[in-house]
Amino acid sequence: MIKLVVGACVGLLLCGNIAAEGLDKIKEKGALRVALYKDFPPYSFADATQKMRGVDLDIARALAAKLGVGMNLMAVTAGESMADDLRNSVWKGHYLGGGVADVMLHVPVDTRFAEDNPKVKIFAPYYQEQVTLAYNPKRIPNLPSLQVLLDHKVGVELSSVASVFLTSTMQGLLRNSVQHYPKFAEALAAFQKGEVSAVMGQRSEIESGLDKDQPVIYSESPMPGLIQKWTVGLAVKADNPELVTELEQAMKALQKDGTLAKIFAGYHISYAAVEEAKP
């Protein structure tokens, strides 16, 4: 699913036919090569100065520091499936070249998904994603059910989980209430301008993208048929057990010493430690 972004090289990264390394080789070379999505705010994205930043980038640097090495970024673009992303970025490489990374972040920690992708090891859960609906209490004083949205506009990103859910739930009754935007940041901007009364998307995107003084309530209304929460972690090539052990220990240390919470707080995202989950 991921097409390699040729030329997205940071630090010591040399673009070319680069292979994932064992732990000894990584320490010998002095750098951990990490695959992150290129345009995925607030996790990994280019800011106004075209400098890459984000939650996952900060976590990757912290993990590399725990291993005593530097961090090289392999920026990739999301494609058709997560399985393709893992093939292109972790265990095989893209047919256009560019090699693979030592580790990829933001991979779903799910038993069935792991079984379907035996060439990688998925481990070290570090965050629970959540799709949620946020609304302006000045526009919507109370939201006991989604039917209230019949009289309001809700901003969503095109072709997103939120879009599919809202346009199909309740037999499509909310279809006319849904306002689509090419990017979720545009939906958030419309929400802050008062052009829509609510937005629906990943809570981390909402929290990091809204102004601090923006009045907002996160809905607790039931959303039958929608998978609202899932956990993300790391993935490395399955034949690299030493690296798995080192990164797993490093991630636990970052959780224990408060580094993860501090990183998420730096992007205004609420964070709670994720319980160990076996994929």
User: pLDDT of 57-77, one tens digit each?
Assistant: 999 999 999 999 999 999 998
> pTM for this one?
0.87
Q: What is the pLDDT of residue 275?
A: 65
- Position 43 scores a pLDDT of 97
DSSP secondary structure string for all residues of 130-191: EEEEEE-TTT-S--SSGGGGGGS-EEEETTSHHHHHHHHGGGGTTGGGEEEESSHHHHHHHH
Q: Does 130-218 match 3-128+230-265 at the fold level?
A: yes
* Pair of tokens at residue 228: 């609202």
The domain spans of the chain are 3-128+230-265, 130-218
CB 178 within 8 A of CB 196: no
What is the tens place of the pLDDT at every residue in 218-271?
999 889 999 899 999 999 999 999 999 999 999 999 999 999 999 999 999 999
The DSSP 8-state label assigned to residue 88 in this structure reads I
Q: Is the CB of residue 229 less than 8 Å from the CB of residue 202?
A: no
Question: b/e string for 180-197 if b means 16 or more Cβ within 10 A?
Answer: ebeebeebbbbbbeeebb
Separation between Cα atoms, residue 110 and residue 123, nearest integer Å: 10
pLDDT for the residue numbered 13: 33
Please give the share of the chain, as a percent, with pLDDT higher than 70. 91
Residues of the chain with pLDDT under 70: 1-20, 275-279
The pLDDT value given to residue 95: 80
| Nearest of 231, 245, 18 to residue 105 by alpha carbon | 231
Q: Which fold has domain 3-128+230-265?
A: D-Maltodextrin-Binding Protein; domain 2 (3.40.190)
Write down the pLDDT at residue 2. 31
Question: What is the overall mean pLDDT for the chain?
Answer: 90
Please give the pLDDT value at position 240: 93
What DSSP letter does each residue of 53-68 carry, written as one string? E-HHHHHHHHHHHHHT
* Alpha carbon separation from 46 to 2, 54, 181 (Å, rounded): 18, 8, 20
- Is the CATH number of domain 130-218 1.10.3720.10? no
Structure tokens given for 127: 């965050």
* Res 54: pLDDT: 97
